[in-house]
Amino acid sequence: MSATSWFAIYLVSFATLISALGPIFMKKGAAQFTVNPRKLLKNPGLLFKNYNAMLGCAFFGISAVFFVIGLKYGELSVLYPITSLSYIWACGLSVKYLGEKMNKYKWIGILCIIIGVALIGMGRAMH
Amino acid sequence: MTKLKAIAMVVFCTIITSAGQIFWKFGAMRLPDLLHNWPLWTGFCLHVIAAAILITSFKTGEVSVLFPMYATNYVWVSIMSAHFFHEPLNALKWAGMAAVLIGVILLGRGAHKHTEVVTP
């Protein structure tokens, strides 16, 4: 594989770690919301003061930038399934930091999603 | 908010996100125009709305259930790309989309009923 392909793989792999942090902080931020969504519509500033939620969005946004760059320079059939690694990292982090528990349905579900994303990536690479 | 409502919110959020990505792809064609690049700004607004919905869904949903459901984004992007950018849908894509949807259903099955809201 060419050097640019390896660069893309490293970039996308790194981005999956960052993107897994996004939902963790978003969940922490969501817990701080005691207002109902309608009050949020009237006063959107409340959302920006929620530092956990903003941090989560920042991680998500930064990882998205890395994904966009990386996906340009590599094979989608390889990179797409790598992106779905972020779901595995997020589950590990949620078990460790959010007190969530995994079960066989969740694991098999994630496996199906990884397979599905890999197939979609292969389908896109066929163009 | 029931667990089904949180799942529906995430799926709805992925539809908005994929629409935002399509707008951004159109906006990328208009670069380096920034100020009058309305697809770019529309896409940005859609992403902000999607983020707000995602955060709200996490209030009563588990990250290990809801976050992998974000993969439905790939389903919508595949369908929208077929329509807007003439990237034809082939058997691999259909199989992939089916597998993702099966995964989403299994994740929903695996979601725990009482989700603890984490106090920061």
Give, in degrees to the nearest 5, the angle at Cα B14 between B83 and B10. Answer: 150
Q: Which residues of B touch A127 (CB under 8 A)?
A: 87-88
What does each of the 120 residues of chain B score in pLDDT, given as a tens digit? 568 889 999 999 999 999 999 999 898 888 788 888 899 999 999 999 999 899 989 988 899 999 999 999 999 999 999 999 988 999 999 999 999 999 999 999 988 875 555 544
* Amino acid found at A38: R
Average pLDDT over residues A115-122: 95
pLDDT score for A36? 64
State the average pLDDT for chain A: 88
pLDDT score for A47? 72
CA distances to A33, B17, B117 from A47, in Å: 9, 19, 18
Q: What is the pLDDT of residues A18-74, one digit of tens each?
A: 999 999 999 998 888 765 666 666 776 777 778 899 999 999 999 999 998 998 888
The verdict on A8 touching B (C-beta cutoff 8 Å) is: no
**CB A90 to CB B64 under 8 A?**
yes
Q: Is A65 exposed, middle or buried (0-12, 13-18, 19+ CB in 10 A)?
A: exposed
pLDDT score for A38? 66
pLDDT score for B120? 47
pTM (2 d.p.): 0.88
Nearest to A26 by CA among B113, B117, B108: B117
> Is ipTM beyond 0.90?
no
**CB A30 to CB B74 under 8 A?**
no
B92 → chain A, closest CA residue: A123
CA distance B64 to chain A (A): 5
Q: Which residue has the tokens 């969005």?
A: A57
A23-42 burial: b if 16+ Cβ within 10 Å, else e: bbbbbbbbbbbeeeeeebee
Residue A39: alpha-carbon gap to chain centroid: 28
Distance CA B9, CA B61 (A): 10
Provide the percentage of residues in chain A whose pLDDT is more than 90: 63
- Structure confidence at residue A125 as a pLDDT band (50, 70, 90): confident
